[in-house]
Structures are given as structure tokens and as C-alpha cells.
Amino acid sequence: MPQKYSSLLACFIAERRSLALFLTGRTGCAATADDLLQEAWLKLNRSEAGGPINNPLAYLHRMAANLAVDQARADARRLLDPVEIELLLAIADEAPGVEQQMADRQALERLSAILDEMPTRRRELFLAARVEGHAHKQLAQRFGISLRTVQLEVHRALDYCTLRMGQITGESAP
């Protein structure tokens, strides 16, 4: 083996860990990175002298990057096998069914009607705090009221919604 390739293999051995980290970052998978390192090692052992390599570490990183790109292209072209297709089809659909969607839509309509029954400021504070996620302090400044008033109004709105939903659905409030 020519001297330049033995120094390249020595660099590969010395830098194997950093190359593995580099490839893991590129591929997102430590196992794939190990496979690519093995492929790089085999290529280095099979390669013939093509000229002097001035920077072995840069050469190895370029080789690793090229292998990662080739792997990504191959993965993009690969078709799923029947077992993979079956596994994908076996994944349960977590989306609510038609009945649940109808029940949820009716509950939202009831909640909307309940919100319309509230005083305007209470409704606006409740929606801004609970739906839009605004901080109580920010709402106090925006409405020109105390922080305690915001807390009380939001609490009263929540209690009212709970009470009215229970009355409408026939369930007792906790």
C-alpha cells in the first residue's frame, strides 16, 4: 500500500469518532452513519493512488458527505416493501369519527350561545384570556381595570359556562 494511502487510513482511524458524529448529524441516524463509515473504509481500502492528498481530514469529510448525499438519494428512490405498507395501514386513525365531530360541533354552538348571554366585558376578557392566550396583566392594562378584576371576571365566566352547559346537557356541575 502506498505511503499516502496508509496515512489516509491512519487519519480515518484517528478521526473515526468525529466522522461518525458528522455523519450522524447529516443522516439523523447513528446506525446509518456507522454503515456509511464502513462503506468509506471499504472504498479507502479498494482505492488506487490517484494523486497526493494534501489534507486527509478534509478528503475524508468530503467522502463522508458524498456518501451521505448518495444514501439520501437512494432512500428517496426506495419503494416501500409490503411489510412497511402493512405497518402504515395498521396505524389507527386518531381523528374523531363523524358522531364525535357532530357532538363537538353542537357543544361549540351551545358554548357560543352561552358566551352571548354574558356581559360584553366578561365575554371579551374570557375569550382573550382563555382562547387567545393573553396574559391577565396585559388584559388589565388593555381594559383599564385591575388584575384582580380580570381574574374575577375570567373565573366568573368559566363558572357560568360550566353551570349553563350542565343545565343544557342535563348534567350536574361538579
- Tens digit of pLDDT for each residue in 60-75? 999 999 999 999 888 8
Structural domain boundaries enclosing 76: 3-89
- Tens digit of pLDDT for each residue in 90-114? 888 888 889 999 999 999 999 999 9
Helix (H), strand (E), coil (C) string for the chain: CCHHHHHHHHHHHHCHHHHHHHHHHHHCCHHHHHHHHHHHHHHHHHCCCCCCCCCHHHHHHHHHHHHHHHHHHHHHHCCCCHHHHHHHHCCCCCCCCHHHHHHHHHHHHHHHHHHHHCCHHHHHHHHHHHHCCCCHHHHHHHHCCCHHHHHHHHHHHHHHHHHHHHHHHCCCCC
Q: Do the domain assignments include residue 27?
A: yes
Domain co-membership, 9 together with 61: yes
Last residue of a domain, one of 63, 89, 115: 89
What CATH number should be reported for the domain holding residue 120?
1.10.10.10
This prediction has a pTM of: 0.46
